[in-house]
Amino acid sequence: MTREQYILATQQNSLPRTEQPQFYPVGIYGWRKRCLYFFVLLLLVTMIVNLAMTIWILKVMNFTVDGMGNLRVTKKGIRLEGISEFLLPLYVKEIHSRKDSPLVLQSDRNVTVNARNHMGQLTGQLTVGADAVEAQCKRFEVRASEGGKVLFSADEDEIVIGADRLKVTGTEGAVFGHSVETPHIRAEPSQDLK
């Protein structure tokens, strides 16, 4: 390159240019921009619906820090208040009702309570059905609420009635196959003793 060419190349050309400088736009334009806005709007609507459904589920199920609905988790175990429905078997160590209300168990067919030993074998069963109350165990006892006196007990060998008073009603009365020993027998007032 000669010196004159260098000077001509490095000098500012004072002649005005007739060409317009070209600007290339930076970004997304046209249908791509509309699609992007549509997807952002769709994502925003999905997030709002998801948040609303989560809040609705938390409100309907009554979630709290302590538990869910009528179910509360305490240091002693789980506390269940109100009416609850169990679709599968319930395994618990103890069931208590509140002091001012009874414990009610309801079923369409029957209520069965099973007792098992440490190996899981069935040792006793109490079934309360529509027609009968059945107990399958080695010994069945009915105790008085005051004092715990045995009123009735039954096992394979004998049946013991330990009440102070025994009243037998019915058309046939009581029939004994062997001798009966009692200190006192009386009839109802104004009825004959037979």
Rounded distance, CA 128 to CA 132, Å? 6
Residues with Cβ < 8 Å from 117, sequence gap 6 or more?
123
User: Is residue 13 pLDDT above 70, yes or no?
Assistant: no
**42-53 per-position pLDDT tens digit:** 999 999 999 999
Say which residue, 95 or 24, is predicted with more confidence. Answer: 95
Q: What is the dihedral of CA 50, 55, 61, 64, to 10 degrees?
A: 130
By residue count, the chain amounts to: 194
User: Is residue 111 pLDDT above 80, yes or no?
Assistant: yes
